[in-house]
Amino acid sequence: MHELSITKTMLDLVVEQAQENGADKVEGIRLVIGEMSGVVDDCVRFYFEFLSKGTIAEGARLSFRRVTPKARCRGCGKEFTLNGLDWICPHCQTTRIDIVEGKELYLESIEVP
Ligand SMILES: [Zn+2]
């Protein structure tokens, strides 16, 4: 489970950013998670509740924005949404594709009072 270290890193960043802004509490945290990043929301939530205890981020509301995977075909150069495990260009049927979106994992914003 790599969610534990991800959540820990995210929490450190949140606390750091809140303190830089002079806040003594964090109300909400917004994360962007690509569907191909392999990160499970519920795991992050679980670890967050556990790790944030006693920090200024305790009790903060977590929200997630999922990013649908997108690929670009190396053959015809078109971009398309990836559906499940069908890694084939719908335009020219080649399997030579590059993932351009969907592996994201970052902190989008935090809410402080
Ligand atoms: Zn193509």
pLDDT one-digit tens code per residue, 56-89: 999 999 999 999 999 999 999 999 998 776 789 9
Q: What is the Å distance from ligand 1's center to 80 Cα?
A: 9
Q: How far does CA 111 lie from the centroid of its chain?
A: 17
Tokens in use for 99? 């993932």
Q: What is the Å distance from ligand 1's center to 68 Cα?
A: 19
Cα separation of 77 and 95, whole Å? 12
Q: What is the Å distance from ligand 1's center to 92 Cα?
A: 4
Q: Which helix (H) or strand (E) holds 18?
A: helix 3-20
DSSP 41: H
Q: What is the Å distance from ligand 1's center to 90 Cα?
A: 7
- 3-state DSSP assignment of residue 89: coil
Q: What is the Å distance from ligand 1's center to 35 Cα?
A: 22
| Residue 30 buriedness (CB in 10 A; 0-12 / 13-18 / 19+) | middle
Q: What band does 1 get if pLDDT is binned at 50, 70 and 90?
A: low
Q: What is the Å distance from ligand 1's center to 106 Cα?
A: 30
Q: What is the pTM of this model?
A: 0.83
